[in-house]
Structure 1
Amino acid sequence: MHERYFDVPDPIERANLATFVGRAIRLDDAAVVRFRQRPDNRVGAWTTTGFDTLAVRVIEGVVRPNDTTAAADALQRNLSELQSGSRIDLGYSMDSSWRGALPPDKGFAHVDDVPARVLVDLAQRGAALAKEHGSNQGPPVSLLDQEVLEVEGGGEQFGVSMRIVFALTAMGFIPHTGQEQMTAGLDLDRIDADELVRVRASKSWIRLDARYGSVLKHRGTGLQFA
């Protein structure tokens, strides 16, 4: 049996990974995280979000195997129990739980830059509507699919749906001071007015890049890997 581990020497990066995994579990208690080694000695940590989007955060380290999937709850436990060293046990392989390929690393064109405050404000308004009109199954699909922001640039023009906005804020990818909560209750003034979220697009994907991570949504319906 091949050894399965993620070696993350920097304790700050291990804390970043723990935060990413914790938020993935908050969105889905059965979440899995897929790791893929990059050529620059960094690793992309990927997860689904429950909003038909993918989320990714890049962590400095080395993963073995170089493309593998682990259960988020096992990762969280092994991170918290790590006493010494920097190798995090990935537990049993969950590769069968991740179907299809990941989005490409390249091929995305810059479309627009959006103030982070605008996106958090949209998420707050959406959360209020979801609370008013949602159910035990979560926000209504009509709200999630609503395009709440129009972006244009680089020969592209399209709407950004509430799904992407919710995913970005739920994963905590926008830096702010004070409270941890990214939607209801967060004073927008705690977010730097100059903090921007970059919108990129490829033929198949829309991508929002914030300081602490990115979310991606297929330009079709639902998650597709093409």
Structure 2
Amino acid sequence: MNGPNGSGAAVSGVRAPGSRLTVPDRTQRDDLAGFVGRAVRLDAAVVVRLRARPGTDGEPDTVEAWAPTPFDALVTRAAPGQVTPGDVTVVGSDLLAALAVAVAPSVEPGTAVDDRWRGPLPPLRADRRWEVVGEVPAAELDGLAERGVAAARAGDPGGRPSAALLDQVVLTVTGDGSGTEVRVPMRCVFALSGMGFVGAGSGDTDGTVRVSTDGGWLRLDTRGGAVVRRRRAQLPLLA
């Protein structure tokens, strides 16, 4: 089975030889640790995929951290730095411990578990651009999340949202001039709220959420991180 970069076999539970994550700025490291910590609180067994994004046009190299959520939506945060190898999946709790304990800018991110990553990421290409469709007040999305939680509790004693509720389109954003339309399902709103990107815990209740698309994916950006999801279901491969 190939690893996420397709360059070799992925072996679960083995330390990646020479694996290093380097984030020189202390504030950026702390913010990344906060992001990973929130992902671990949502799912104690979560894995985090670290992907290198080379800098262009004078910008520094960047490390993207990606994590799945229980709502079938990805969350991500980027920080200036490097990761070796350039695409590796590690245990979230290991990465959190490394970032929280180490003082040095370079840490060993943890056990390589590339075969535990499921699903694709948006393609990493120099010519790829996100089209900003519009901005939505964070308070509006927080309100949608609260109403979604109330609806889940009304439908299930344990508060578990149904598939129908998760797939319900609760927000449509249309670009001025371009006419591009992005339909946001409740599962993305739950991911925003669950990660503390909106709401009282975000520290940014008066801010906005930027809504973007590259055609195949939608993206909701906040100060704390972003929620990303395919706009259309992936078609199964035919034999």
TM-score, normalisation: structure 2: 0.79
Aligned to 2:123: 104
Counterparts in 2 of 1:19-168, with a 5 A limit?
19-40=34-55, 41-82=61-102, 84-105=103-124, 106-134=128-156, 136=158, 138-153=160-175, 154-168=178-192
Runs ≥4 residues deviating over 6 A? none
What is the SS of the residue equivalent to 1:111? Answer: strand
Counterparts of 2:138 and 2:95, CA distance in 1:
30
What is the SS of the residue equivalent to 2:209? Answer: strand
Counterparts of 1:57 and 1:206, CA distance in 2:
15
Counterparts of 1:197 and 1:80, CA distance in 2:
28
Aligned to 2:58: none
Q: Aligned residues, how many?
A: 211
Deviation at 1:223, TM superposition (A): 10
Give a deviation string over 1:91-126, Cα, whole Å, max 9, x none.
Answer: 221111124542035242222211111111111111
Give a deviation string over 1:156-195, Cα, whole Å, max 9, x none.
Answer: 2242111111111222234x7xx53x6xxx9xxx712xx2
Contact 2:209 2:222 (8 Å CA) reproduced = yes
What is the SS of the residue equivalent to 1:215? Answer: strand
Amino acid at match of 1:173: F
Contact 1:70 1:95 (8 Å CA) reproduced = yes
Counterparts of 1:85 and 1:63, CA distance in 2:
15
In structure 2, relative to structure 1, the CA distance for the partners of 1:64 and 1:158 (3 Å cut) is: closer
In structure 2, relative to structure 1, the CA distance for the partners of 1:159 and 1:5 (3 Å cut) is: same
TM-score, normalisation: structure 1: 0.84
Contact 1:52 1:222 (8 Å CA) reproduced = no
Give a deviation string over 1:37-83, Cα, whole Å, max 9, x none.
Answer: 1123221111111211111101122111111111001112222332x
Counterparts of 1:142 and 1:207, CA distance in 2:
21
Aligned to 1:9: 24
In structure 2, relative to structure 1, the CA distance for the partners of 1:213 and 1:222 (3 Å cut) is: farther
What is the SS of the residue equivalent to 1:197? Answer: strand
What is the RMSD of the two structures over their aligned residues, measured on CA atoms? 2.4
Aligned to 1:205: 217
